[in-house]
Structure 1
Amino acid sequence: MLKKINIKNLRLYLWIGVVYCGLAVLADLARDPKTIGLSFLNDVWRTIYIVGISILLYEYIVPYIRAKKGFLKKIILSILTLFLYIFFFSLGMYAWRGIGIVLNIFTPFTEFASMSEGTSELFGLSLFSVIFFGIIRHFYNHSQLRRKARQLQIEKQEAELNYLKSQTNPHFLFNTLNNIYALARDKSDLAPESILRLSKILRFMLYETSGAYIALEQELKIIDDYIALEQLRYDETLQVNFNYDIENRKQALPPLLLMPLIENAFKHGVSETRSQPFVYVHLSVRNRQLLFNVRNSSEVYADEVAVKENIGLSNLRRQLELLYTDYKLTVQQSQSVFTAILKINLASHV
Structure 2
Amino acid sequence: MALAKKFKLYLWTALVFYLIFCFGESFAYPDTFFKRNINGLFLLVFVLLLNYLLFETALPLFKSNGRSIVSGAILVIVLIFLYTIGLYEWRQLWIKLNLYTDYTPGLTYWNGVEIHSRYSLASIIFFGVAVHLYNYTQLKNAAKQLRLENQEAELNYLKSQTNPHFLFNTLNNIYSLARDKSNLAPESILRLSKILRFMLYETNGEFIPVDKEIKIIEDYIALETLRYDNSLKIEFAHNAEDYSRPIPPLLLIPLVENAFKHGVSETRNKPFISIELSIQQQQLSFTVKNSVGDAPERGYVKENIGLSNLRRQLMLLYSDYHLSATLENSEFVVNLKINFASHVKNKLHHHRR
1:218 matches 2:218: no
1:58 maps to 55
2:314 maps to 320
Query: Could you tell me which of 264, 267, 278 is aligned with 1:270?
Result: 264
1:344 matches 2:341: no
Once the two structures are overlaid, the 10-residue window that deviates more, 188-197 or 161-170, is: 188-197
- Give, in whole Å, the separation in 1 of the partners of 2:173 and 2:22: 79
Residue aligned with 1:260, SS: helix
Residue aligned with 2:93, SS: helix
Instruction: Give the letter for the 2:13 counterpart.
Output: I
Query: Could you tell me which of 156, 162, 187 is aligned with 2:156?
Result: 162
Query: Could you tell me which of 20, 28, 31 is aligned with 1:23?
Result: 20
Residue aligned with 1:330, SS: strand
Q: Could you tell me how far 1:188 is from its partner in structure 2?
A: 2.4
1:153 matches 2:147: yes
Question: Which ranges of structure 1 fall in alignment gaps of 5 or more residues?
Answer: 70-76
Q: Could you tell me how far 1:303 is from its partner in structure 2?
A: 4.1
- Give, in whole Å, the separation in 2 of the partners of 1:281 and 1:163: 27
Q: Could you tell me how far 1:262 is from its partner in structure 2?
A: 0.4
1:280 matches 2:259: no
- Give, in whole Å, the separation in 1 of the partners of 2:218 and 2:295: 31
Q: Could you tell me how far 1:20 is from its partner in structure 2?
A: 2.2
Q: Contact 2:58 / 2:76 at 8 angstroms: preserved in 1? A: no
Judged with a 3 Å threshold, the aligned counterparts in structure 2 of structure 1 residues 38 and 291 are, in CA distance, closer, same or farther, namely same
Once the two structures are overlaid, the 10-residue window that deviates more, 86-95 or 135-144, is: 86-95
Q: Could you tell me how far 1:56 is from its partner in structure 2?
A: 2.4
Instruction: Give the letter for the 2:218 counterpart.
Output: D
2:191 maps to 197
Question: Which ranges of structure 2 fall in alignment gaps of 5 or more residues?
Answer: 67-71, 345-353
Judged with a 3 Å threshold, the aligned counterparts in structure 2 of structure 1 residues 34 and 180 are, in CA distance, closer, same or farther, namely farther
1:309-330 Cα distance to aligned partner (Å, 9 max, x none): 1110110011011111111110
Residue aligned with 2:198, SS: helix
Instruction: Give the letter for the 2:157 counterpart.
Output: Y
Residue aligned with 1:23, SS: helix
Judged with a 3 Å threshold, the aligned counterparts in structure 2 of structure 1 residues 112 and 285 are, in CA distance, closer, same or farther, namely farther
Q: Could you tell me how far 1:335 is from its partner in structure 2?
A: 4.7
Judged with a 3 Å threshold, the aligned counterparts in structure 2 of structure 1 residues 113 and 263 are, in CA distance, closer, same or farther, namely same
Instruction: Give the letter for the 1:211 counterpart.
Output: G
Number of residue-to-residue matches in the alignment: 340
Q: CA RMSD in A?
A: 2.7
Q: Contact 1:100 / 1:106 at 8 angstroms: preserved in 2? A: yes
Q: Contact 1:246 / 1:285 at 8 angstroms: preserved in 2? A: yes
Query: Could you tell me which of 290, 306, 309 is aligned with 1:296?
Result: 290
1:170-204 Cα distance to aligned partner (Å, 9 max, x none): 11111221222222222222222222211111111
1:9 maps to 6
1:239-284 Cα distance to aligned partner (Å, 9 max, x none): 1000012111111111101110000000000111111110000011
- Calculate percent identity across the aligned residue pairs: 50
- Give, in whole Å, the separation in 2 of the partners of 1:209 and 1:68: 50
2:39 maps to 42
2:302 maps to 308
Q: Could you tell me how far 1:232 is from its partner in structure 2?
A: 1.2
